[in-house]
Amino acid sequence: MNAVEKYLKQNQPRFVRDLADYVHFPSVSAQPKHNKDTAACAAWVAQHCRAIGMEARVCKTDFHPIVVAKTPRKKNSKKPHYMVYGHYDVQPPEPFELWKTPPFAPHVAGGKMFGRGTSDNKGQNLAHLKAAEAYLKTGTELPCDLTFVIEGEEEVGSESLADFLKANRAELKCDGVVVSDTGLPAKHLPALTSSLRGIAALEVTVHGPSRDLHSGIFGGSVNNPALALCQLLAQLRDKHGRITVPGFYDEVRELSPRERKAMRRLPFNAPAYKKFLGVPELFGERGYTPDEQRGVRPTLEINGLTSGYQGEGSKTIIPAWARVKITCRLVPAQDPAKIVAAVARQIRKLAPPSVHVKIEHGHGAEPYWVESEGAPAQAALRALRRAFGHEPVLLHEGGSIPIVNLFKRVLGADSLLVGLALPDDNLHSPNEKFDLEVFAKGQLMSAYLWQELGGK
């Protein structure tokens, strides 16, 4: 092990350069104009895996390619087989003007690398690749066989990977999946995430007149779709933060007093949290703490709202249409399909007869809860403790990683969620960053994890 630790320690400056190369690709999965960059990024990942000493291939899909890389193994290897999952695609960088340095020109300052995708998820999956590199380049025997699956559609719902898992079930069969795509509360608080929220998405368009109209000539005699949509949306939540859609909470499992007590043990500083988010007051469902509200309670959020003239100056029109993008975050045992149906039904019910409503259903994923008492979780906690030098905590995270449900359903494998993003790393926001000290500790954690899981 000393050789692995030493290798990691000595090569940090090069690893940081590798991360910068990785972040350079604008692999924005949601924007077709970046399809070439996304493919180039996949090729880079595969090439990097080969340079490290793995066998790697880029698998074409109907959308963005999937990279599969394997550590060398014996034909009838008896070692445990673990999959390491990550994604090379990133969220759109907009709004550009809020970035202090360009999103795809990675830049290091104050021990952090800034750039879109640094923490979500390039830095996190590269940490695992670097741990594998340390084993392979020092000739240290890996206690586990590893298969890396690094996809390009996580930020848009992982559809291709879902098909890929089903088609390659035998090859990908494993004892567990290791995923670093979540967070830790602070540098001195490494974390194993024991739950993720699910998600249900829909897009609603309210159509008014067949074209934009002069608001003076016609205004007052036809409904304004933007106003109609706003009035309708305003009725989806009450002033106490409860979602008013009938049936929304029917399946929600309340936490036990013991679970709630465990959550309250995590440090939380309301004034600092408020300041960090830049809000005058916190707001959330009455009767729950902020950590509960964002980790174990369901939500309904507007992610985007568009209508009418958005350019400079004014334009006196009644817009022809208004559109909203909505996602709900789900907790056990809510079902994404049922929730989308319930929200759509309520929207139709609230819509006035003076407009047409069109509803499109988007992606969905169930919430994920994993056993934190079992042997693999215990091994992960030991690896975290050794790498960070602090006692790890268990976290309920509010974000979603839809594919982990399929790892369970298709491969029968649980996911160990050992995240490396800090709360202020600006995931999905301008000035996303990744802490380079956490990067190094993440590599060590990965190196130790294979020992702990391999029983060595």
Binding site for ligand BES (CB under 6 A): 120-121, 154-155, 157, 181-183, 196, 199, 363, 397, 399-402, 427
> Which member of 120, 133, 145, 435 binds Zn ion (CB under 5 A)?
120
Q: Which partner from the list ligand BES, Zn ion, none does 399 bind, CB cut-off 5 to 8 Å by kind? A: ligand BES
Q: Which stretch binds Zn ion (CB under 5 A): 116-124, 170-178, 378-386, 405-413?
A: 116-124
176 or 399: whose CB is closer to ligand BES?
399
Q: Which partner from the list ligand BES, Zn ion, none does 151 bind, CB cut-off 5 to 8 Å by kind? A: none
Q: Which partner from the list ligand BES, Zn ion, none does 42 bind, CB cut-off 5 to 8 Å by kind? A: none
Q: Which partner from the list Zn ion, ligand BES, none does 199 bind, CB cut-off 5 to 8 Å by kind? A: ligand BES
Contact 343, 299 (CB under 8 A): no
Shortest distance, CB of residue 91 to Zn ion, whole angstroms?
6
Shortest distance, CB of residue 90 to ligand BES, whole angstroms?
9
65 or 86: whose CB is closer to Zn ion?
86
Site string for Zn ion, 403-422 (x = CB under 5 A): --------------------
Distances (CA, A) of 194 to 299, 335, 412, 417, 444: 19, 19, 17, 7, 21
120 or 151: whose CB is closer to Zn ion?
120
Shortest distance, CB of residue 405 to ligand BES, whole angstroms?
11
Shortest distance, CB of residue 187 to Zn ion, whole angstroms?
21
135 or 388: whose CB is closer to ligand BES?
388
Q: Which partner from the list ligand BES, Zn ion, none does 397 bind, CB cut-off 5 to 8 Å by kind? A: ligand BES
Shortest distance, CB of residue 209 to ligand BES, whole angstroms?
34
Shortest distance, CB of residue 406 to ligand BES, whole angstroms?
13
196 or 384: whose CB is closer to ligand BES?
196
Shortest distance, CB of residue 364 to ligand BES, whole angstroms?
8
Q: Please state, in angstroms and rounded to a whole number, the distance separating the CA atoms of residues 362 and 401.
A: 15
How many positions of this chain bind Zn ion (CB under 5 A)? 1
Evaluated on CA atoms 44, 123, 106, 14, the torsion sign reads negative
Shortest distance, CB of residue 91 to ligand BES, whole angstroms?
7
Shortest distance, CB of residue 159 to ligand BES, whole angstroms?
11
120 or 133: whose CB is closer to Zn ion?
120
Q: Please state, in angstroms and rounded to a whole number, the distance separating the CA atoms of residues 47 and 148.
A: 13
Q: Please state, in angstroms and rounded to a whole number, the distance separating the CA atoms of residues 262 and 252.
A: 19
Q: What's the length of the chain?
A: 456
Residue 361: what are its φ and ψ, rounded to 5°? Answer: -85, 135
How many angstroms from the chain centroid is the CA of residue 121? 8
65 or 157: whose CB is closer to ligand BES?
157
135 or 434: whose CB is closer to ligand BES?
434
Distances (CA, A) of 200 to 76, 195, 248, 325, 414: 42, 17, 12, 11, 22
Task: Determine if the peptide bond prior to 333 is cis (ω within 30°).
Answer: yes
Q: Which stretch binds Zn ion (CB under 5 A): 120-128, 159-167, 370-378, 441-449?
A: 120-128
Q: Which stretch binds Zn ion (CB under 5 A): 72-80, 117-125, 255-263, 272-280?
A: 117-125
* Pair of tokens at residue 81: 């087989």
Name the residue whose CB lies closest to ligand BES. Answer: 399
38 or 224: whose CB is closer to Zn ion?
38
133 or 425: whose CB is closer to ligand BES?
425
Shortest distance, CB of residue 231 to ligand BES, whole angstroms?
27
| Contacting positions for Zn ion (CB under 5 A) | 120
